[in-house]
Chain A
């Protein structure tokens, strides 16, 4: 048996056995849920009263987006449903100090909506939505100043998406203030700054001024911390669906996973009887179901926690060998041809940070613009090194311009192009331009297309959260990947695409 075969067999099997050992010794049964990440929330209310008291707060509910599991300490006197929200009430008549403590486990997924640009803007007068259209003390949608601004922003737009975008953009662009005070819509407009609740009320007010049903949403941003602050955002009705917007943190028609939703409507999260002293705190912890800590050669989850290592960096680091293996398979077994060897891995990892589709479109646009620059540079006879330098400068200029343009819209985060590997952009653009020059447009497009197909395949595989969590949990598996690579390096079979190429040799 050849030495490389023995070596690769050892490299592949040892880490797999090790992972097996860790799974067996750390858990009785192994499932995907072991990699699940969740938050644990601990409510801590303290009430000091002379006699009768009551305390109300909204309880989170399960929905398509979020799952909440309460612990057994939750024991309010009553829970009532009010306009689709659930209110828990604690009451009593004993004087003295009372502690209300309970907790829940929270998991959720991020949501993102695509608002069709074919929906016409039509004022809504359906009584069903009356509550989401009215003028209130804090949301003064009938006030002339708000009415005027709403009309100005709407301008002559006829599609709902353009109207909503204009309103959101205006509110999003207002400076954020750190106040915890309640700010109404009109005050936000007049002060030209506000925190989450002020901005949300103004956005709701502007939408209602145009008879678009909209409402406030209250919740808490889940992050590892002890805090008292809650958060407010907005939902606007689009085609019978309540679509979320956060004009403070810049979430357009989307909501991150860690937005715990508690209630809809313009309410206070906690209300209580007067004459009592009240204190509260939310303690939030991030938990992982299982880190398989026993026998771990290196426990990255603990390191991340204790040393404050940015988890995204670790993800990129651990994805590199796997991405490179996939490239090897796509090139040597399937037969794809790519620009540069590891280039698709680098692009796809950048795409994971930026969002695959958006990133790919921006990347291609940048490449095309910079390739076009090659035309005059070649015509003028600019030397190769100087040309590369000029194209590099163009890459920087195009990226800055893109950031500027993106900051005016909300379709894609403005920082998206900053994740691209710039030097690679230059080299790809140059290579593409040169291929167009020498082998024609068709060959160049074919080469670019193959590179992007490989990038996409790798991107979709590497984008799997489960896979990333698996690699952070069992980093020893990269040694198995190395073993597979060793085998691949001796693979001498025909590439799949070569069958198509050479089939003609058989027909003679």
Chain B
């Protein structure tokens, strides 16, 4: 009981809460007029490409309803592609398409071209962007590195690295579970796995309630695994952060089995759940790292 009280009282010294994140960090380090560079994935990708930051290839962008058919005709020559709302958040509105013998599949479900264009139209109408009109993005499909399949076979796991002034603070690996239905987001039932930044190894996996040493569905070990291309990923995240005028960023990366680490997107307001995945408050790290760097 006493320990719990002590922990509760110590919490606000180590953990970064929403209020403090918004006021002391985001407000101070990110200019509002620059938000769109991160919030609009089409703009962000333009910056990636300009700075030669490794990222999935953009096959095409639809801005207006009248362009849907023409762009679709162009991009549908690819056998695998991903459709994304440019301003979507939390993985909503993402459709992953595979073509087998002339038939499109979304995951394992067959879909008609009519259903696909309907989905694109919904993106444009702002269904996934709080009613704002939006753009639809067509991207190269990323084939996950076999490292991920050695933990759990389904979905596309990604890394999230939080950086302040282009200095990596904290990272986690987000991994789907049976419950999360292929999605890797923490509040959709995915796992958040903390990352030991120095060693480049995985910590425990957090499922929103409990910590696990192994993947709860597959039983494969997680804790202590060495992350492939970790140094490369850190370097890529720093390179990306430097390309943006935004100083506090959450950068999402994936590892393609052939092309290696790639940046998927950047976030201006990265979630705070990463502290739970790492069992470590961000506030201590922010203080420690900024002081160390600033005094250099």
Contact = CB atoms under 8 A, between A and B. Distances in A.
B125 A492 contact: no
B275 A492 contact: no
8 contacts: A489-B23, A492-B23, A493-B19, A494-B19, A499-B8, A502-B17, A502-B281, A506-B11
A505 B18 contact: no
B132 to A, nearest CB: 11
B118 interface: yes
Given A383-B122, A494-B17, A507 B7 contact: yes
B188 A505 contact: no
A501 B276 CA distance: 8
Interface of B: 4, 7-8, 10-12, 14-15, 17-20, 23-24, 92, 115, 118, 121-122, 125-127, 131, 187-188, 206, 211, 272, 275-276, 278-281
Contact of B11 (A335, A491, A494): A494
A384 B15 CA distance: 39
Nearest to A434: B127
A491 B19 CA distance: 7
Contacts of B206: 504
Nearest to B273: A501
A505 B211 CA distance: 11
A501 B272 CA distance: 10
Given A385-B125, A503-B8, A505-B281, A494 B276 contact: no
A136 to B, nearest CB: 67
Interface string A465-508: 00000000000000000000000011111110011011111111
The 10 lowest CB-CB distance pairs between A and B, nearest first, are: A508-B279, A494-B17, A492-B20, A506-B7, A384-B125, A502-B15, A494-B12, A498-B17, A384-B127, A492-B19
Contacts of A96: none
Interface of A: 332, 335, 381, 383-385, 438-439, 443, 489-495, 498-499, 501-508
A359 B285 CA distance: 49
Contacts of B126: 384
Given A384-B126, A384-B127, A507-B7, A498 B15 contact: yes
A438 B15 CA distance: 29
Contacts of A502: 11, 15, 17, 272, 275-276, 281
B125 to A, nearest CB: 4
Given A492-B17, A499-B8, A505 B276 contact: yes
A507 B275 CA distance: 12
B24 A492 contact: yes
A505 B206 CA distance: 11
A506 B279 CA distance: 7
Contacts of B92: 438
A443 B90 CA distance: 15
A490 B10 CA distance: 21
B93 to A, nearest CB: 9
Nearest to A508: B279
B276 A495 contact: no
A503 B279 CA distance: 9
B11 A332 contact: no
Contact of B19 (A443, A495, A501): A495
Contacts of B275: 502, 505
Contacts of A501: 276
B279 A507 contact: yes
A498 B281 CA distance: 12
A433 to B, nearest CB: 12
A263 to B, nearest CB: 62
Given A438-B92, A439-B188, A503-B8, A494 B279 contact: no
Given A491-B23, A507-B7, 6 more contacts: A439-B187, A439-B188, A498-B15, A502-B272, A502-B276, A505-B279
Contacts of B23: 489-492
Nearest to A383: B125
A498 B279 contact: no
Contacts of A385: 125
A330 to B, nearest CB: 13
A335 B11 CA distance: 15
Contacts of A489: 23
Given A384-B125, A438-B92, A439-B188, A504 B276 contact: yes
A385 B126 CA distance: 9
Contacts of A504: 206, 211, 276, 279
Contacts of A384: 122, 125-127, 131
